[in-house]
Amino acid sequence: MHDRGQREAGGEQRINPDTYWDLFADACIGECSKLIITGWIKEDDVVAADPSVILSVPAVAVLAVLADTVQAGGKGKTEIWWREAEVTCNDGTRPRHVFQGFYNTLSNSNKSQG
């Protein structure tokens, strides 16, 4: 895992952007394993890089992260909870210039959940 980041003037630790990509990759791996176990996808399709698997696994991972955020309760509507790492992505910790479009998509989805 990469260094999580540096402390900002406001006291919150700004997360290193690589950390979020690592968390996302970990979520994809975890969800892929769950999908294989439940029979939604086949291990052979993962190994063969079947296009439907390549497209669906990241989407399922995003939904899982959003579900974790909703289930965590008490989190703000602009926060995203990464359960495995116990990291909250919010306005104070989120890198300001990295994957803003990705974050906006997740944030808007999260707001529509609550």
8 Å CB contact between 70 and 55: no
The predicted model scores a pTM of 0.66
pLDDT value, residue 5? 46
CA 30 to chain CA centroid, Å, is 11
pLDDT in tens, 63-83: 998 888 888 775 566 777 777
Residue showing tokens 């994957």: 99
DSSP letter (8 states) at residue 94: S
User: What percent of the chain is modeled with pLDDT above 90?
Assistant: 33
Instruction: Label residue 99 exposed, middle or buried (CB < 10 Å: 0-12, 13-18, 19+).
Output: middle
CA angle (30 as vertex; 26, 33 as ends), nearest 5? 140
- pLDDT class for 8, splitting at 50, 70, 90? very low
pLDDT value, residue 68? 84
